[in-house]
Amino acid sequence: MKTLILILIMTMSSLAHSAQYTLREGKLHKGGVASVEVLPHSGLFIVKMDYEVYKRAWVPAPPEALKGDTVLELPTQFKDERGYLELETLGSMSIPDAELKFIRRTNLGKYHDAYEALVLPKNGKTRIEVIYHPDVPGAGWAQVRITFISNVPLLNGYQAIADLKN
C-alpha cells in the first residue's frame, strides 16, 4: 500500500511539473503539439520545451526540422510568481543565456492578471513570448509564442503560437 501511495504521489508531482500545448495553424504549418516540462534542479529553474510541427505539404522542410526541444535556464524565482513580479518591477533582467523583458499584464481566457514576458535568447535564433499565470501547471505558461529569426526569408519573422491544452 505504501508503494502504491508513493507511486501516486510521484505521478501527481510529475504531472504538476509539465503541461501540454496545441500549436495553432499557421501559414506554413497545419498545427502541432508541444510540451513544457520543469526539470529538477536545486539552483536553477530549468524548463524543457519539446515540439512537433505538422507542416503543409508544399513546405520544403526536412523531418528533423519539424521536431525538437529547447532548454531554458531561468533563475529560481521564476518557479513561481515572484520572478514575474520582480521582472515587472525591474522592466528587464539579464541572465547568462538570455535577456528577459516584462511586456504587460494581460488576460488570456480564464487566466486574469497574467504576466506577459519576452525571452530573448542570446543565440539570436528566436524571440519567445510567454504568458505566465500561477494557476497554470508546469512552468506556469498559458501560452508560448515563438518568432523565428533566420537568414531564410520564408522563416524570418515566422510565428508559432502554442496554447495550453485545458
Mean pLDDT by 10 residues, the chain (166 residues): 33 58 92 90 86 85 76 90 96 94 97 96 90 94 90 83 90
| DSSP string for residues in the chain | -HHHHHHHHHHHHHHHTEEEEEEPP-SSEEEEEEEEEEEP-SSSEEEEEEEEEEE-TT----GGGSEEEEEEEE-GGGGSHHHHHHHHHHSEEEETTEEEEEEEEEEETTEEEEEEEEEEETTSSEEEEEEE-TTSSTT-EEEEEEEE--SSTTTTT-EEEEEE--
In CATH terms, the fold of domain 18-164 is Lipocalin (2.40.128)
Q: Structural domain boundaries of the chain?
A: 18-164
pLDDT of residue 3: 35
